[in-house]
Copies of this chain bind each other. A is one copy, B any other.
């Protein structure tokens, strides 16, 4: 399960991607309102993403957040890593420090499969994949955009 910070990050970025298609650069107030996340906390998260160069921003009137049009599609796993690290995809299912294929905990073989599937999903799914679904009306981001 993702941290709330990661969830807000992904929802924010999808919202930004959708808006960017119309040439708009939403600000954090609008973003937070539309994805139903706390305003200042969202601002902090976006700040982190900008610092890590996953996102761009401009200050001042007419400013806001946007993706560099040059940049490659952004997989969810990169966002998750930026916000909370990779532990979700590496941690033992019951918390053993030295659990591995060679030295498995008693649920390792079954758990590792699921963990890897999740990692695979997070690697293959990009913000654009998700934004497209919103635009096509095949999915929803809480408030309809």
Which A residues fall within an 8 A CB radius of B? 1-2, 4, 7-8, 10-11, 14, 36, 76, 87-88, 91, 93-99, 103-108, 110-111, 114, 117-118, 121, 125, 129-131, 133-134, 138-142
Partner of A107, one of B8, B97, B125: B125
When distances are taken between beta carbons in the complex, the residues of chain B under 8 Å from A99 are: 140
Contact pick for A114, options B107, B108, B117, CB 8 Å: B117
B4 lies within 8 A of A142 (CB): no
Beyond A1-B1, A2-B93, list 4 extra A-B contacts (CB 8 Å).
Answer: A4-B95, A11-B94, A106-B129, A106-B138
Contact of A104 among B10, B114, B140 (CB under 8 A): B140
CA distance A2 to B95 in the complex (A): 8
- Residues of B contacting A1 with CB < 8 Å? 1, 87-88, 91
User: Nearest chain-B residue to A121 (Cβ)?
Assistant: B110
Alpha-carbon distance between A38 and B84 when the two chains are bound, in angstroms: 24
Closest to A99 in B: B140
